[in-house]
A and B are shown apart, each in its own frame.
Chain A
């Protein structure tokens, strides 16, 4: 198995990011299709044991740059469990080379204790799931917190000494108007965080919203309004000095998410925990999703990898394009050549010409990037770069 091979161990030094998945929640949001379960009656301690084993098995990581703990809801763990998690990371992953260490948090369960523990354990960045500042909408998408909780959470995080805070917002929510979105952004701006992510709602199978939509019981804003909202939010945040560095991400200069940027730059990363995805040594790997299966596998084999896919050169090139173009800076032609040994233009001559003609793509000597219109019709652009 790859986990024990010499080549794998040598390749470790190139892997710059580690994602750790905590699949537990106190409440399930109506739109969420990530790997998650109600925390009540779950074998959380066994899970942490397995997680420790999985991470320990992966070896040492002297050159790791970013750590990201996401969920689920990492802060749904109780204080003791939470401390245990931080200690695992400290023991096996944390070292001087780390430049960013993010934990996702929900406003309702960020306690001063947890903030203190995080700060003590080297966490540098918090990503807080706020989603919106309208109480009635929060309730209708299945969130437990209230608008005040968000402000309080950000305030306490700052008090605890965090200087890199991101908040997540959403648009295109059921019954959300453009005014509501603007109001939410204004509230978010008041909190003076360094980073804001704004995702648009996608209805995914196996979610409460999906079932409601099938029964015709979900009123969504529709494409016109959604586009208008996107336009407005980009303008508003850029006016306030945020850099729109990725389709859904805005940062004050220097506060772009390093970890997420690894994904878009098509760089390798680890995925630890149930249902997590990694990109290791040219392979996309997926861990078992069900908690018990994950624990069982790690205990039996030292890892929980259930599927691997060797990424072909063609696929790697496609991914370089459709991930890279998500970023404002786009795809750098020189990097592309260095990575793949052939010029970008020779591969995609017709596609580039066609997309430029449609006004969706910008090109200069150094790079390819989405135009403003391309930002809106990104999927048309991305899918055009599939070679098959």
Chain B
């Protein structure tokens, strides 16, 4: 039993793994592999590598990568982080082994979150939102909320929970935690929270609040509130981010609330967060032949709905959809997205499942065409917004270059 061994033996073992991992990591994309090997040798490696460091975990269905990037730049000095988005235990271990900084920001997969909280003893956890994502391979969202709640309750967790009180499922997850900082943000998607997680009755949504007949209702003792400005602990900030969309203002609200908990000066943190113009290739402008493309990642109904609301009126819209393992094999979720909002545009349909998205758009009354060979699109004018799901996004990153 490893936990019965003397501490020094553990530390020595840990260091050996770090060396093994670091060698692997210098060869590039082996982050997951290296982590997996390390965990085979020491199943408690995540605990050992986190010990004595200030760890912040970010989880939720949407916004993990961007919020983590904001926390990283906002925290100022060197920060260890899983920037590439490898967010299951192997990826976290690899990131921790590769970089020794005292400050750690880890975006964490929703399903792995409970185990990571127990292993890494984070100082702060950020719960962004919870909605359906790839249900063909992940658990159902309500069960996920329960698992979060179990790992964050007052007897199990002693850190601070920064949580979205506009989202009933997240509220349920954070409700029994010892220290909670509620963040109140605009929410465009609540499709998965219609029925109360306590009693399954209908949750009644009103402007700015929600409640259930059983007494479960939106917390009012909020630490931060985002409307036209962001107010944290009674101080108001105009965000003015370079990143587009209300959903990125929401991400910033969580990042800044967490940074306040970490003792960071918020005006300075905000200046640094404003300098972010692209996150892992997202939002930034990229070159494709004669074209300029802005790549947006759309993985699930909630995220895609938020993206559609932020689209530039003038830009051409292309949509690229795949259905590989990493995307979820079932593109049914396209019917949970209000693509009707694209009426009046002419949309180009790309990716392995271009016929699926074209059919969806046709039934939404949106003019569209199926493009068999994207190379024909290299020629042409005007700015394009390309909305792509996970593996399609990666393919488009590979065939485009930064402007």
User: Do A and B interact with each other, yes or no?
Assistant: no
A positions within 8 Å CB-CB of B: none
